[in-house]
Amino acid sequence: MTKSLMTPEQLLGLNQDHLLCINDNIELIGQKFQCHHEVLVPLARLIRQSEQDGIPLRIISSYRSFEQQLAIWNKKFYQEVELNLRDGSKVNSQDLDEAARVKAILHYSALPGTSRHHWGTDFDVFDASHIDQGLTVELTEQEFEEQGPCGNLNFWLQDILTDYQFFKPYFKDQGGIACEPWHISYQPIATAALADYPVALLKHTLESTDIGGKNIIIPMLNDIVEQYVMNICNPDQQG
């Protein structure tokens, strides 16, 4: 197996030394972002192929640090934020008790330290042509359905990702993170990263972090890791 080339701190988004910060080449990449240094070339090739095939792919989200993920989590936990639920409905976060709120947030937002975006191997993507036409990106399953703005992109990704060693870790809903057809991952590095995942360091880090719902999260952390980190779709069954 390929080594993840990351330290435990990097796997939790606490250190960025494994990343490249892209400040130019905007025409190719679509925006400034950070990614794992081993992923830039295959990602650039995938984007170039999408442009050649007339379905231009744009990166919406790439690397996120622990602190960035913590800010996302705490906003959803403490403020009145509309949460998307697994059944397609929406709910105001503050209408839920704390235990239900933690569970609802976990459908689409990872705990800080557990996001695959910490690794620089994972990216949220969208059809660039619709963004250029002014469409507001929401990243919902409906956008990636056949008649949605990313319907063609979704079919294209299904055919091409494995050629560039990418896959969709949330290809379908398996009871962990909900289905995310926009989320792609570079398999050689991400698979090794998952195998090296430092659960003990995660627990220690969260215990010393001001995170909403800590009293609920810490006692069930091993179960959360098993359900929402380790529980991904098999890359070999997506072609």
Token duo for residue 93: 């976060």
| Range with lowest mean pLDDT among 24-33, 84-93, 114-123, 220-229 | 24-33
Would you say residue 3 lies in a domain? no
Mean pLDDT of the region 69-83: 96
- A 10 A CB-CB count for 2 gives 13
Mean model confidence pLDDT for the chain: 92
Residue 1 lies in a domain: no
Q: How confident is the model at residue 1 (pLDDT cuts 50, 70, 90)?
A: low
pLDDT for residue 6 is more than 70: yes
Q: What is the CB neighbour count within 10 angstroms for residue 9?
A: 17
Instruction: Please report the pLDDT score of residue 33 as a whole number.
Output: 81
The pLDDT, as a whole number, for residue 2 is 57
Highest mean predicted confidence (pLDDT) among 9-23, 130-144, 210-224: 210-224
CA angle 188, 19, 203 (to 5 degrees): 80
* 101 class by beta-carbon count within 10 Å (0-12 exposed, 13-18 middle, 19+ buried): buried
Give the range among 27-36, 170-179, 211-220 with minimum mean pLDDT.
Answer: 27-36
Give the pLDDT band of residue 117 (cuts 50, 70, 90). very high
Domain-embedded: residue 63: yes
Integer-rounded Cα Rg, in Å, for the chain is 17
- Residues 146-162: pLDDT tens digits? 999 999 999 999 999 99
Confidence at residue 26, expressed as pLDDT on a 0 to 100 scale: 39
Report how far apart, in Å, the C-alpha atoms of 98 and of each of 70, 87, 93, 203 are. Answer: 17, 20, 9, 19
Q: Give the CA angle between residues 220, 226, 227 to the nearest 5°.
A: 85
71 within a domain of the structure (yes/no): yes
How many Å apart are CA 49 and CA 57, to the nearest integer?
9
Name the pTM for this structure. Answer: 0.92
Q: Which residue has the tokens 């959360």?
A: 224
Specify if 2 maps to a domain: no
- 13-43 residue pLDDT tens: 999 999 998 754 434 344 468 999 999 999 9
4 — pLDDT class (breaks 50, 70, 90): low
Structure tokens at 66: 């622990």
Residue 39 resides in a domain: yes
Fill in the amino acid letter for 76: K
Crossing angle of the two packed helices 221-228 and 199-207, in degrees rounded to 10: 130
What's 78's domain CATH number? 3.30.1380.10
In a domain, 221, yes or no: yes
Residue 119 inside a domain? The answer is yes
Q: How far apart are CA 168 and CA 175, in angstroms?
A: 15
Number of domains in the chain: 1
Could you list the residue range(s) of the whole structural domain that residue 114 is in?
8-237
